[in-house]
Structures are given as C-alpha cells and as structure tokens.
Amino acid sequence: MEYEPVIGLEVHVQLRTRSKMFCGCAADYQIADANTRVCPVCMAMPGVLPVVNKRAVEFTIAAGLALNCSIAELTKFDRKNYGYPDLMKGYQISQMDLPIAENGYMNLPDSETVPGGHRVGITRIHLEEDVARLTHIGAGPGSYSLMDINRAGVPLMECVSEPDIRSAAQAEAYILELQSTMRYLGISTANMEEGSFRCDANVSIRPKGAREFGKRVEVKNMNRVRAVVRAIEHEIERQTEIAEKGGVLPQETRGWDDEKGITLEQRSKEEANDYRYFPEPDIPPIYIERAWVDEIRSGLPELANSRRARFAGEYGLSQYDADLLTASRATADYFENVVRARDYSGDKLQSFSKESANWINGEMARLVNADVDPAAVITESKVTPAQFAELVELFQSRTINNNASKQVLAEMFASGRDAGDIVDEKGLRKVDDADALDPIIDKVISDNDQAIDDYLSGKETAIRYLVGQVMKATRGAADANVAAELIQEKIGSLTKR
Ligand code: ADP
Ligand code: MG
Ligand code: ZN
C-alpha cells in the first residue's frame, strides 16, 4: 500500500513591538541582563491588571491581511491554564474561539521542489504572550533551575495552518514564505535560531486516495528550518514503517533530537493537557473597526511573491536572480533604487537591471557578508543606490574592467566615495588602445626572454604569463584580450625578423 503524508504547521512568531504585550516593559529581552525587563504586571503580582498592546494587535491584523484572512470584528482574550513554572500567573493570556484572523491561505511559489506551487490554508492567527525562560542546572538532588522573566509577556503571534501540506519540501517552502512575509511586514525578525520564530509540525500518514486523516503526531523542539525538514522526513518514514507492519499509530507529542536525527516520545494523548480555557475577565472584548483594518491594508508593502514575479517580468531577471533579490525586502528595495537611479527603459533597462542584479547578488553580497557586523544589511552599507548605479554603468560601458570594478566597489564599500573619483585616482580606466599599451608591452617582452622562448617553442600558456605581467604593470587596468592580441602580434613580427 502507498501512503501519503498529511502535515499541518503551528508557528509562533515573536512580534517586534517596543513594549510587552500587557505591560510597559521593554520587549528587548535578548540584549538585556536577566530580570531587568520586569514590572509587577509581568511578574504577576496580586492585583495588577493587563493592558493590551495596540501595536501587537495591529501587527497581527497586518499578518492576517497578508495571508488573505478575514479579520474578526469582535475578538477577545482567554486564559489558558497549564502547570509549567514558566508561566508567571499560572496561566497564559491567549485567544481561543475568537482569534484576530482566520480562514486565510498562502500560495507556495512554483519551484523545483514544489512543482506548480501549492496552496496552504491558514486556519487562524491569534495573539498571546511569551513565557519566562528557564535554565535547568544539573539533575537529581542539588539540581536547580534559573528563571529569567524578561521574556515573559513579550507578544507572541501564533499562526496555525490547515493540514494541507503534503511533503517536507512543501513544509520548508511554507516556512520560508512565512518568514519572508513576517520580515517584509517588519513585524518580526522571524529567526528560528534566536527563537523569534518557532515551528511545531503535525504529521500523519494515510493510505493514498483515502479521505480520512490518520492520527497526528505533533513534533516539537526544532530550531532550524533544516531541522523541521529532517524531523518531518523522519516522522513520515517512521510512521510508514509502523503502518506497513500493521501497527497502530497513537496520537502523541514527540520531541526532535537533532543529534540522533530521530523523534522521541514526550507525551501521549491520554496525558494531554486540559487547558481549562475561559474568557480573560481582566480584558474587555475588542471591536476591530473596519476603518482601522482598511488603514492597515493600505499600508501593507508589496510582498516577496508578487515582487519576485514583477522583477522577472518588468526587469527581465532570471528566476534565480529574482529569488535572491527578493529574499529580503532590504535587498529588493536596494535593487529597485539602483535601477530607478537611472531613467532607462526597454532593452537598456533590462540589460542595466541584469547587470545590477549580478553585482548586487555577487560582489556586493560578498562584501556585506564579509563585514564584521553580522547584523549588517545592504541598505546600511555606505554605498548609496545612486553610487552603485554609477559603478554598474562604468562597468557596462567598459570604462573599467571586471577586476577594476571589484576593486572600486570594495573601496566604495569601505569609504563611501564615488566610483568615478576612485577610478580617476587609481588610474583604473581600462587601457585598451594600442598606443597606450605599446610601450608597456615592449618592456614586458624585453624583460621576459624566457617566456618568449617558451612561447616560441610551442608553450601556448606562456602568453598568459606575459598578459599577467602587462596587467601587473597597469595595475589591472589593461584589457586582457587586447593585450594578448598585441603580444602575439609583436612576437610574431619578432620571429619574422
Ligand atoms: P493543538 O493546539 O491541539 O495542537 P491546533 O488546532 O492548534 O491544535 O493545531 C492543530 C494542527 O494540527 C494544525 O496545524 C492542523 O492543520 C494540524 N492537523 C490536524 N489534524 C491533522 C492530521 N490528521 N495530520 C496532520 N496534521 C493535522
Ligand atoms: Mg499544537
Ligand atoms: Zn512588565
């Protein structure tokens, strides 16, 4: 029998608000010393009252709109009770039956691993609060746990997908697209390693063609996209093996062990939590005015999916270049600003765009990554889009060659100076007229008897060495092809003599 995987993802996204979800504490818990971003509200002192962070609600509405959801007219918060000591109040304020957004979808782009694309339903997007961070030290007698309350109360948005995903590759595409959407919206750093984007995978299998779903296993503890993909692949394999042996698959929660590459049982359905949800009495229900929703909608940026298609069409970029450029909004913005710095149209626009894309995705990406500051992004580099456009033009017009262009860009990156000034100062303008190269080549020939002899005795590679000497003498400014031709001509006339 053939089996088909059925997958649904639950993703927690930490929102990039300045303050926490229900109090005025700063939400920058990553950079703060332990327990320095706390107040009576997020420490759950008796008698305190929560106040809803409006910006967090706005961010969740934006996410809902970007994911084609309908936005609730009436939403409310609920108490979710569970007995783990990372909850300061003994319960988490979350949302149960009236989430801010529901019934949306995401289109996965057509790609090699997801041929033809795929649509994944979004069940709901709701808002809740993050919990304190516990660090367990030791085991057994004498062991203890450290608690950092800074993270407790940071706004957390949960996005639940329909069980519409059918492969690990689709799950990967869904995660990448969701991350990209969160970053384009500017509502989260959406970084799995740093914990601002956490994904649980629900996986089941069913006989191919069956309509009913099998019992799902919820897999937790993955902190990289790669880990989610591996965990899903492993789970599909494990479940299929059990089913093929005629075994029964229980509904359970399993944890991913990244080192061993397997999932391990955490708890079965019988031990599942009873959250005893009830409406949060300290927060009144919220009516979301349509005018507010419209205002948020009109402020939404163009998202990666649409930008990708537009870059390929309008600028004639390859799918590969368009994918790379639109992977981050900053890079996509930078590219468009470079192109807009010139008033080109038609073929000229396309060739200038392609060349700009090459230099942004190639040399510029390398320089940005090589920079010591890991948070550095292209838009914060010293090279303005207009300056970048000038460099691309100098290269396209063959005023400077490839090597010189790289040198100039590196210098621009370090100093923020204009390309033209650097070219003039360093004398990098390409030397391709014979008159200018003539004396240099004469000198190289008279200085390199050995290489000439080699060449004359049939060693063709000697010419490359001679061209290298010309490049050295011109500090990279010579046109290598022209130089090679001239050298061959000159040696030819030598032998005739
Ligand atoms: P819970 O909080 O109990 O995990 P949720 O409704 O928040 O429940 O999430 C359930 C998730 O499991 C959703 O992403 C849904 O798409 C997915 N899911 C539901 N049934 C199945 C199934 N049979 N196989 C795989 N995934 C499933
Ligand atoms: Mg769940
Ligand atoms: Zn607080």
Report the separation in Å between the CA atom of 285 and the middle of ligand 3, taken as the mean of its atom positions: 22
Query: Between β-strands 217-222 and 252-257, what pairing exists: parallel, antiparallel or unpaired?
Result: parallel
Report the separation in Å between the CA atom of 271 and the middle of ligand 2, taken as the mean of its atom positions: 14
CATH architecture of 434-495: Orthogonal Bundle (1.10)
What residue's CA is closest to ligand 1, atom 14?
A: 8
Q: Give the dihedral sign, CA 282/287/291/292.
A: positive
Q: What is the mean pLDDT of each run of 10 residues along the chain (497 residues)?
A: 96 98 96 96 96 98 98 98 90 98 95 94 98 95 96 98 98 96 95 95 96 96 96 97 93 96 88 88 98 98 93 94 90 95 94 96 88 66 95 91 92 95 86 78 87 86 88 81 85 71
- Which atom belonging to ligand 1 lies closest to the Cα atom of 164? 16
Tell me if 102 CB under 6 Å of ligand 1.
no
Tell me if 218 CB under 6 Å of ligand 1.
yes
Q: Shortest CA distance to 87 belongs to which of 49, 134, 52?
A: 134
Written as six digits, the tokens of 326 are: 């639109």
The pLDDT value recorded for residue 496 is 60
Tell me if 82 CB under 6 Å of ligand 1.
no
Report the separation in Å between the CA atom of 199 and the middle of ligand 1, taken as the mean of its atom positions: 12
Q: How many residues does the chain have?
A: 497
Q: What are phi and psi of 125, to 5 degrees?
A: -130, 120
**Cα–Cα distance between 27 and 20 in angstroms, integer?**
5
What residue's CA is closest to ligand 1, atom 2?
A: 10
Tell me if 278 CB under 6 Å of ligand 1.
no
Answer yes or no: are the C-beta atoms of 444 and 470 closer than 8 Å. Answer: yes
- Residue 197: in which H helix or E strand, if any? strand 197-207
Least distant ligand from the CA of 198: 2
Report the separation in Å between the CA atom of 86 and the middle of ligand 3, taken as the mean of its atom positions: 15
Answer yes or no: are the C-beta atoms of 307 and 326 closer than 8 Å. Answer: yes
**Cα–Cα distance between 135 and 146 in angstroms, integer?**
5
The pLDDT value recorded for residue 183 is 94
Ligand 1 pocket mutation pick from 174, 202, 266 by most atoms within 8 angstroms of CB: 202
Could you state, in order of their start, the residue ranges of all structural domains in the chain?
3-294, 302-426, 434-495
Alpha helices in 186-213 (DSSP H): none
Report the separation in Å between the CA atom of 272 and the middle of ligand 2, taken as the mean of its atom positions: 11
- Which of helix, strand or coil describes residue 453? helix
Least distant ligand from the CA of 152: 3
The pLDDT value recorded for residue 256 is 97
**Cα–Cα distance between 444 and 447 in angstroms, integer?**
5
- Which atom belonging to ligand 1 lies closest to the Cα atom of 10? 14
What residue's CA is closest to ligand 1, atom 11?
A: 8
Report the separation in Å between the CA atom of 296 and the middle of ligand 2, taken as the mean of its atom positions: 29
Whole-model pTM? 0.83
Location of structure tokens 């200018």? 436
Q: Shortest CA distance to 399 belongs to which of 442, 427, 358, 430?
A: 430
Written as six digits, the tokens of 84 are: 């783990």
Report the separation in Å between the CA atom of 43 and the middle of ligand 3, taken as the mean of its atom positions: 7
Q: Shortest CA distance to 27 belongs to which of 16, 43, 41, 42?
A: 16
**Cα–Cα distance between 163 and 4 in angstroms, integer?**
12
The pLDDT value recorded for residue 304 is 92
Burial of 195 (0-12, 13-18, 19+ CB in 10 A): middle
- Residue 458: in which H helix or E strand, if any? none
Give the number of other Cβ atoms within 10 Å of residue 48's Cβ: 16
- Which atom belonging to ligand 1 lies closest to the Cα atom of 163? 16
**Cα–Cα distance between 279 and 94 in angstroms, integer?**
9
Q: Shortest CA distance to 250 belongs to which of 229, 263, 267?
A: 267
